[in-house]
């Protein structure tokens, strides 16, 4: 048995040129060896910007790098053959395969259509003008190069509820399309930011059109048959009606031979909002713990001024651990992204220890933190600079420690603003551990482990401390950590 441990196998600035799928295949054995149990892969289908697309500007869900569309056959990450080889390599090493699903919008339409629209107040989406504008909109997707292979479905303006650009007259903004499905305005069961957050970008998919929802269910069956994937990451669900995703999840679970692992991105820092979504979909998906990630960001910025006893306050993992996927960073929190909230390098080992070695939540590890990354960025002076994202030296050890030591009853010592600790009691098969961390000066904790740990010797797995600690006849010991650091104490013999 293993503790579930996910890995996000990409980042926003991953280089183009078809390098990712070969890297996935190459590193699958290593990921399995260190204790990763499933890999989340980026959107594998053709985006509106073709071979340069990160994948979130969905163009054709059925083009996995197989058809010459949007200027290339391959996607940014490689061609279909490379993608399927990467999936098979992961599965060969008993790793789960989680595919990214971006259903909220489409971009890069093939043709314009004459449509009728209403202007929408961007700050209050429920404020929809009564004035009707006739204009051209990019809403027709025919996928000529694919020529009906896999699906003959043609997307037109009846499939969308809104756009952000019209022509003749030319105007940018938010425009609600008038068709048979949009008379009641926007969809319900979406986030209430801006009054109603149904519209996000591009041509906004309208799930009230039954032909659309059935096509997306069919695609779910198709992608499972093509890949044999074991799960999905659902993008931007705060903009998609919860009733649709409940139906879609029910459908793919019924069609799958094994339960599919599902995690959704609802990026809100309000725990009741996250819990409401979980309730709306009847608990059928997990959610990323955005509030915990924000706590890590603040803790890393504030240093010793941050009260570590509050690190789990107002988080999903504290309120509903069974539905929480815990994280330190992802592609959306990277610099220059809309949800930018980077965790400072000094705090990342502490943050990863808090998600990898604790009982609550399912942790996910981010590509740059484990492997390292670099990318080019333009500075204020107009010159290009290489941005380096070095790997965290201790992270591989912490992932292995999750499988070896993070077992048994957890006891918390969240009792000092600058120094906290927790212990895992271990099981018959796996030894436990003691974790001590500080965001200020070097710290120490008196940990009572019980008679079963009398006169045991302990070493710091992360090698920040060279001393050996021995518990007394009652199994009690003084466990230490360095300033601004974390120590993971394990049995030395």
Residue 156 falls in the annotated catalytic set:
no
Q: 407 Cβ partners below 8 Å, 6+ apart?
A: 3, 424, 425, 426, 427, 429, 430, 431, 432
Q: Please indicate if the annotation marks 60 as binding a ligand.
A: no
- Element housing 10 (H / E): none
Q: 322 Cβ partners below 8 Å, 6+ apart?
A: none
Count Cα neighbours of 149 within 13 Å in the Cβ-side half-sphere.
9
Write out the two tokens for 202: 């591009």
Tell me if the bond preceding 169 is cis, omega within 30° of 0.
yes
Name the maximum alpha-carbon separation found in the chain: 84
Query: What does the DSSP assignment read for 196-212?
Result: -----SSEEE-TTSHHH
CB 231 within 8 A of CB 90: no
Catalytic residue among 265, 289, 320, 332: 265
Cα–Cα distance between 238 and 248 in angstroms, integer? 15
Beta bridge partners of 204: 105, 162
Q: Please indicate if the annotation marks 472 as binding a ligand.
A: no
Residue 378 falls in the annotated catalytic set:
no
Catalytic residue among 235, 289, 320, 332: 235
Cα–Cα distance between 490 and 111 in angstroms, integer? 63
Write out the two tokens for 311: 């690190």
468 SS3 class: coil
Instruction: Give the residue from 250, 260, 244 showing the smallest Cα distance to 99.
Output: 260
Q: 159 Cβ partners below 8 Å, 6+ apart?
A: 139, 203, 205, 206, 209, 211, 212
Instruction: Give the residue from 3, 2, 1, 6 showing the smallest Cα distance to 325.
Output: 6
Q: Please indicate if the annotation marks 307 as binding a ligand.
A: no
What's phi and psi for 454, nearest 5 deg? -65, 135
Q: Please indicate if the annotation marks 196 as binding a ligand.
A: no
Instruction: Give the residue from 300, 464, 303 showing the smallest Cα distance to 393.
Output: 464
Active site residues: 235, 265
Bind-site residues: 104, 198, 206, 239
Bind-site residues for Ca(2+): 104, 198, 206, 239
């Amino acid at each position: 048995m293993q503790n579930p441990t996910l890995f996000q196998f990409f980042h926003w600035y991953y280089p183009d040129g078809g390098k990712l799928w070969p890297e996935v295949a190459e590193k699958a054995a290593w990921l399995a060896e260190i204790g990763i149990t499933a890999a989340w892969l980026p959107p594998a289908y053709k985006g509106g910007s073709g071979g340069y697309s990160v994948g979130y500007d969905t163009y054709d869900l059925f083009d996995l790098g197989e058809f010459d569309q949007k200027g290339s056959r391959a996607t940014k990450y490689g061609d279909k053959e490379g993608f399927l080889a990467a999936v098979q390599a992961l599965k060969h090493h008993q790793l789960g395969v989680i595919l990214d699903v971006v259903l909220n919008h489409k971009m890069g339409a093939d043709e314009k259509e004459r449509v009728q629209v209403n202007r929408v107040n961007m700050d209050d989406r429920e404020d929809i003008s009564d004035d009707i504008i006739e204009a051209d909109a990019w809403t027709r997707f025919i996928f000529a190069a694919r020529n009906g292979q896999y699906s003959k479905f043609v997307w037109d303006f009846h499939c969308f509820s809104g756009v952000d650009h019209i022509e003749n007259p030319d105007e940018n903004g938010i425009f609600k399309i008038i068709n048979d499905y949009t008379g009641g305005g926007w969809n319900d069961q979406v986030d209430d930011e801006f009054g109603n957050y149904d519209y996000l970008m591009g041509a906004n998919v309208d799930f009230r059109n039954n032909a659309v929802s059935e096509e997306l269910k069919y695609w779910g069956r198709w992608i499972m048959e093509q890949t044999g994937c074991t799960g999905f990451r659902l993008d931007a669900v705060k903009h998609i009606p919860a009733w649709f995703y409940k139906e879609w999840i029910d459908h793919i679970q019924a069609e799958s031979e094994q339960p599919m692992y599902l995690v959704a991105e609802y990026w809100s820092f309000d725990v009741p909002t996250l819990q409401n979504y979980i309730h709306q979909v009847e608990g059928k998906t997990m959610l990323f713990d955005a509030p915990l990630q924000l706590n890590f960001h603040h803790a890393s910025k504030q240093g010793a001024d941050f009260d570590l006893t509050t690190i789990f306050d107002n988080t999903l993992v504290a309120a509903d651990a069974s539905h929480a996927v815990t994280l330190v960073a992802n592609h959306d929190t990277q610099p220059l992204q809309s949800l930018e909230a980077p965790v400072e390098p000094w705090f990342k080992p502490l943050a990863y220890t808090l998600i990898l070695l604790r009982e609550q939540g399912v942790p996910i590890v981010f590509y740059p933190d484990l492997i390292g990354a670099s990318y080019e960025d333009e500075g204020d002076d107009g010159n290009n600079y290489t941005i380096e994202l070095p790997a965290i030296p201790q992270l591989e050890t912490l992932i292995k420690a999750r499988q070896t030591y993070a077992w048994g009853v957890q006891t918390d010592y969240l009792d000092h603003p600058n120094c906290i600790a927790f212990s895992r009691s271990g099981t018959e098969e796996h030894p436990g551990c003691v974790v001590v961390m500080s965001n200020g000066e070097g710290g120490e904790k008196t940990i009572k482990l019980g008679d079963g740990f009398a006169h045991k010797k302990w070493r710091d797995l992360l090698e920040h401390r060279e001393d050996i600690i021995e518990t007394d006849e009652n199994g009690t010991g003084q466990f230490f950590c360095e300033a601004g650091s974390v120590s993971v104490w394990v049995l030395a013999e």
